Structure 1
Amino acid sequence: MDTEIELKFLVSSDVGSRLPALLQSYNIRQHDQQHLANTYFDTADLALGSIKAGLRIRSQNGKMEQTVKLAGSQVGGLHQRPEHNVPLTVHSPDLFLFPEHIWPEQFNVNLVQQSLQPLFSTDFLRQRWLLTIEDTDIELALDSGEVQAGEQRETIHELELELVKGDVSQLFELADDLVKAGGLRLGAISKAQRGYRLAGFSAPPRLQMLEPLPLAATDNCEQTMMALLHKGLSHWQHHEEGWLAEPGDRLEWLMQLREGVSLVHQTLLLFGNQVSHHVNSGWIDDLLWLQQQLSWLDRAQMLAYLTADKGHYLRRLDCQKSVLGQLQAQQQQLPDEAQLEALFYSARYGRLMLGLTHWLYRQDWRAGLAASQTVQLAAPVGELARQRMEDSWHILRNSALGEPTLDGERYIQQKGKLRRNLMIGLCFSTLYPEADRIGFRMPWLDILRGIEDLDMLSPLQEVSEQLDATEAAELEQWLARKQQFLLEALEQSRTQALLMKPYWQSFTSR
């Protein structure tokens, strides 16, 4: 049995022509090209898929080999899976050729063998380089072809870096050199996963809201930090894949991608004291950069709502048609699909994702820690959670949201601060009784929604400057009424929220 350790990238079409030059400085022991045809098998009820195993037959130069890949792990774009390979003489899978011990206890090999059927295939040209870096051998494979399931086809443009032997850090260093040139995006799903989806045996990616992470009082700080980072990165990549896969309006996918990025960023800040010497400080800058690159999403969401159903929100305005035309012109100025794809394939984006993946894989933040930091990492997370939420609450209470009165502009200025506060609460929320935390958070969530509704009027205020005097006067009067209504509702919610005792204070005092 071998354990496959590889980094998978989806690549832009020009990477193939640039790759030989990028590899010139490396010791290339072998370079060849081969055509690979693969057929993937499972039962109609996905008996292999249910145990997270994949079975294929690969044909190459007249020779055949069957491979089973078993359940493994995946962090970012790094995939690790145990695999067994057996030569074949006929193009028909035989599970009995694999070692018996690899199957789960209740797995009926005989029954599954009788029910195997081909589900989909992959057919691609592979350019392969075998590199030696110090004592490490790495196979680099550029694949171009397609996945096919019945009449359904999907293009393959992938680059895989597989550790043959040696130090996995060399794998990441090679990847970093390649990513610097741009055009590479870490891939969270394999060819087989794409094939199952194309064949209709697994659902396409679905939009997911960011939910609280299940935590136990016995979890220590290190476990919690790791779980939050994995959750954030997974949420981020899931919605990146979903945005690229789904046709049509995909704004909500990008909003959730940003939520995943925010969770990763907030987690690094929450646990910064424990691992301050082992977090690449550039990540914080890069995460801020990425969130800035996506800051236009708020404006896009506002415009999408205002223009939905031919401007239904504006139906009571006589100047609706003029306003709608101006709003649609604003939409045309937003980043388009090509610009977003360029972001996801950019060098800075790729290196950020690769760096996080490497750090999560190595789990070496303990090396060189002071004794006090080691103790902090091993301590139950409850006390840290209480401190972090108390600090965040203190900042919120001493911000404009704690002042006697606020106007619309001041409310809008607090949106980012309130989002960060609510994200911290989400990180630790399951440590506390559900009724207590929901009762406390609901008024603040209402306030955030109210601020977002208030901010949604901002594009309309800009539009009024483009209208004639009569239309501008009508729009401004309408806006004033809307703003007044929203401000009154916000003040009621804020008064209620400020009177409530934080749930973590009540919980720790019991």
Structure 2
Amino acid sequence: MDTEIELKFLVTPELGEQLPALLQPYHISQQDQQHLANTYFDTADLALGSIKAGLRIRSQNGQMEQTVKLAGSQVGGLHQRPEYNVPLTVHSPDLSLFAADIWPEEVNVEQVQQRLQPLFSTDFLRQRWLIILGDTEVELALDSGEVQAGYQREAIHELELELVKGDVSQLFKLADELVKAGGLRLGAVSKAQRGYRLAGFGAAPQLQMLEPLPLTQTDHCEQTMVALLHKGLAHWQHHEEGWLAEPGERLEWLIQLREGVSLVHQTLLLFNDQVSHRVNSGWIDDLLWLQQQLSWLDRAQMLAYLTADKGHYLRRLDCQSSVLSLLEEQQQQLPNEADIESLFYSARYGRLMLGLTHWLYRQDWRAGLAAEQAAGLAAPVAELAQQRLDESWHVLRHSALGEEQLTGERYIQQKGKLRRNLMVGLCFSTLYSPLDSIGFRMPWLDILRGIEDLDMLSPLAEVQESLEENEAGELKSWLSRKQQFLLEALEQSRRQALQLKPYWQ
């Protein structure tokens, strides 16, 4: 049995062409090119897929080998899975050739064997380089071809870096150098997963709202921190994959991607005392950079709503047509599909994902801990939760949201602060009674939605200057009524919310 430790990247065709030149500075002990044909098998009810196992037969130079990969772990684009290989003489899988003890107890191997059928295939050209890095060997495999299921086909452009032996940090170091060229994106979805989807046995990515992490009073800080970081990263990558699978106008996928990024950042802030001295400042800076790169999404949401259904929101305005035209001009200035895809394949984005993945894999926060910090990691998370929720509530109460009365502009300025506050609550909410936590959070969520509705009027205020005098006057009057209505509702909600008793005290 081997345990694969590998990084998987999706690559642009341009990077694939540059790769041989990028590898020239390294000591290459072997280099070859292979044509690989693989057929993947499972039962009609996915008996193997349900236990996260994959079975394939690989044909290469007239030789055949069957491989089963069992459930492993994944962090970002780093994959670790137990792998078993045996040679075959016929192109038909035979599970009895594997040792019986590799299978989970619930698997009836004989029954699965009788029901196996081919589901999909992959056919690709693999260029391989074996890189020597001191005592470490890393195999690079550049794959170009396609996944096929019936008449359905999907292109393969992937780069895998597999640790053959030695130090996994050298694997990351090599990957980091390659990422600097751009054109690489850490891949969370394997060829097999893509094949299952193509064959109709796996659902396309579905949009998901960010849900609270289930916690108990006995969970400790380190356990919770790691779980929150993994949850944020998984949410982030899931929506990155979803957008790339069908980009177009799917703005909501990018909004949820940003939610995953925000959860990762907020988690690092919440556990700052435990991890700050071990966080690599390079990828932390990149995390802040990415949030800035995504800041346009608020404006995009506003404009998408205002222009939906040919400007239905503006239907009572005589100047609807003129306003709609100006808003659509603003939309044209936003990042487009090519800009977003370029971001996902950029060197800095790749460095961020790789740095965060490496940090999680190495569990860097443990190195060099003082006794007090180690105790903090092992302490019950409930103690930290109460402290952080108290701090967050104090900040909120002493912000403009705690003042006697706010203008529309002041409300809008508090949007980011309120979002961060609500994210803190989301991180720890399941430690408390759902009735109490939801009852406290809902009014503040309503206030956030009210602020977002108020901010949505901002693009309309900006276009007034470009309208004819009579149209500008009509829009100004309409905006004034809308703003007054929203402000009155916000003031009422805020007064009620400020009277609520914190559920964690």
Superposition TM-score, scaled by structure 2 size: 0.99
The corresponding residue for 2:155 is 155
Write the distance in 2 (CA, Å) between the matches of 1:366 and 1:243: 35
Aligned to 1:139: 139
Aligned to 1:413: 413
Q: 2:255 — aligned with what?
A: 255
Residues in 1 aligned to 2:380 and 2:354: alpha-carbon distance in whole angstroms: 30
Which residue of structure 2 lines up, in the alignment, with residue 275 of structure 1?
275
Q: Secondary structure at the match of 1:158?
A: strand
* Structure-to-structure mapping, 1:5-20, within 5 angstroms: 5-20=5-20
Secondary structure, counterpart of 1:260 in structure 2: helix
1:495 correspondence with 2:495: yes
Q: Which runs of 4+ in 1 moved over 4 A?
A: none
1:470 aligns with 2:470: yes
Count residues in correspondence.
Answer: 505
Report the Cα offset of residue 106 of structure 1: 2.6
Q: Which amino acid aligns with 1:189?
A: V
Letter in 2 for 1:33: Q
Residue aligning to 1:233: 233
Show the counterpart of 1:435.
435
Greater Cα offset, 30-39 or 106-115: 106-115
3-state SS of 2:313 partner: helix
Greater alpha carbon shift after TM alignment, 391-400 vs 246-255:
246-255
1:209 matched residue in structure 2 = 209
- Whether contact under 8 Å (1:8, 1:187) holds in the other structure is yes
TM-superposition CA deviations, 1:64-119 (whole Å, max 9, x none): 10000001010000000001101111111111111111112231111111111110
Structural mapping, 1:39-50, within 5 Å: 39-50=39-50
| C-alpha RMSD over aligned residues | 0.8
Task: Supply the distance in 1 between the matched residues of 2:201 and 2:128 (Cα, whole angstroms).
Answer: 31
Q: Conserved in 2, the CA contact under 8 Å of 1:65 and 1:86?
A: yes
Alignment pair present for 1:332 and 2:326: no
2:248–2:337 Cα contact (<8 Å) kept: no
Q: Distance in 2 between matches of 1:501 and 1:485?
A: 27
Distance 1:284 1:400 in 2: 29
> 2:310 — aligned with what?
310
Of all paired residues, the percent bearing the same amino acid is: 83
Contact 1:121 1:195 in 2 (8 A): yes
In 2, the alpha carbon distance for the partners of 1:178 and 1:388 equals 39
Equivalence for 1:459: 459
CA distance in 2, matches of 1:296, 1:492: 30
Native 8 Å contact 2:247 2:337 kept in 1: no
C-alpha separation in 1, matches of 2:409 and 2:427 = 29
CA offsets 1:194-229 (integer angstroms, 9 cap, x no match): 000011101000000000000110011100100000
| Shift of residue 22, structure 1, vs aligned partner | 1.2
On the 8 A contact 2:130/2:138 being kept in 1, the answer is yes
- Aligned twin of 1:117: 117
SS at match of 2:365: coil
Deviation per CA, 1:227-252: give whole Å up to 9, x if none. Answer: 00000000000000000002432100
Name the CA distance, whole Å, in 2 between partners of 1:2 and 1:289: 39
CA distance in 2, matches of 1:400, 1:311: 33
Q: Please state if 1:88 is matched with 2:50.
A: no
- State the partner residue of 1:245: 245
Q: Aligned AA for 1:143?
A: D
More deviation, 106-115/412-421: 106-115
Deviation at 1:173, TM superposition (A): 0.4
* Equivalent-residue separation in structure 2 for 1:134 and 1:182 (angstroms): 26
Q: CA deviation at 1:150?
A: 0.6
1:28 is aligned to 2:28: yes
CA–CA separation in structure 2 for the residues paired with 1:212 and 1:282: 29
TM-superposed CA distance for 1:362, in Å, is: 1.2
| Correspondence list, 1:376-387, <5 A | 376-387=376-387
CA distance in 1, matches of 2:363, 2:423: 24
Whether the 8 Å CA contact 2:3–2:81 is kept in 1: the answer is yes
Aligned equivalent of 1:508: none
CA contact (8 A) 1:182 1:345 kept: yes
Q: Is 1:391 matched with 2:409?
A: no
Structure 2 CA distance for aligned equivalents of residues 64 and 98 of structure 1: 15
Task: Indicate conservation of the 8 Å contact 1:275/1:369, yes or no.
Answer: no
Give how far 1:18 is off: 1.0
Query: 2: CA distance between counterparts of 1:159 and 1:105?
Result: 35
Distance 1:504 1:161 in 2: 46
Deviation at residue 274 of structure 1 after TM alignment: 0.9
Letter in 2 for 1:157: H
Q: Aligned partners of 2:262 and 2:486: how far apart in 1?
A: 27
SS of aligned partner of 1:373 = helix
Is residue 279–residue 364 contact of structure 2 (8 Å, CA) maintained in 1? no
State whether residues 464 and 472 of structure 1, in contact with CA within 8 Å, keep that contact through their aligned partners in structure 2. yes
How is 1:346-361 mapped onto 2 (pairs within 5 angstroms)?
346-361=346-361
- Matched-pair contact (CA < 8 Å) for 1:317–1:474: yes
Higher mean displacement: 101-110 or 151-160: 101-110
Alignment partner, residue 446 of structure 1: 446
Distance 2:288 2:276 in 1: 17
CA distance in 2, matches of 1:139, 1:284: 29
Q: Give yes or no for contact 1:66–1:93 (8 Å, CA) kept in 2.
A: yes
The alpha-carbon deviation at position 284 of structure 1 amounts to 2.8
- Aligned partners of 2:283 and 2:351 also within 8 Å: no
Q: Normalized against structure 1, the TM-score is what?
A: 0.98
Q: Structure 1: 5+ residue runs without aligned partners?
A: 506-510
Asked whether 1:103 is paired with 2:103, we answer yes
Give the partner amino acid of 1:448: L
User: Cα offset for 1:282?
Assistant: 2.7
Contact 1:222 1:377 in 2 (8 A): yes
Deviates more, 1:14-23 or 1:478-487: 14-23
Which position in structure 2 is the counterpart of 1:64?
A: 64
* Residue in 2 that maps onto 1:194: 194
Q: Does the 8 Å contact 2:450/2:486 carry over to 1?
A: yes
Unaligned stretches of 5+ residues in structure 2: none
Q: In 1, distance between residues paired with 2:388 and 2:488?
A: 31
In 2, Cα distance between the equivalents of 1:499 and 1:61?
74
**What is residue 38 of structure 2 aligned with on the other side?**
38
CA distance in 2, matches of 1:412, 1:120: 52
Q: Is the 8 A contact 2:400 2:410 kept in 1?
A: yes
Supply the distance in 2 between the matched residues of 1:435 and 1:104 (Cα, whole angstroms).
39
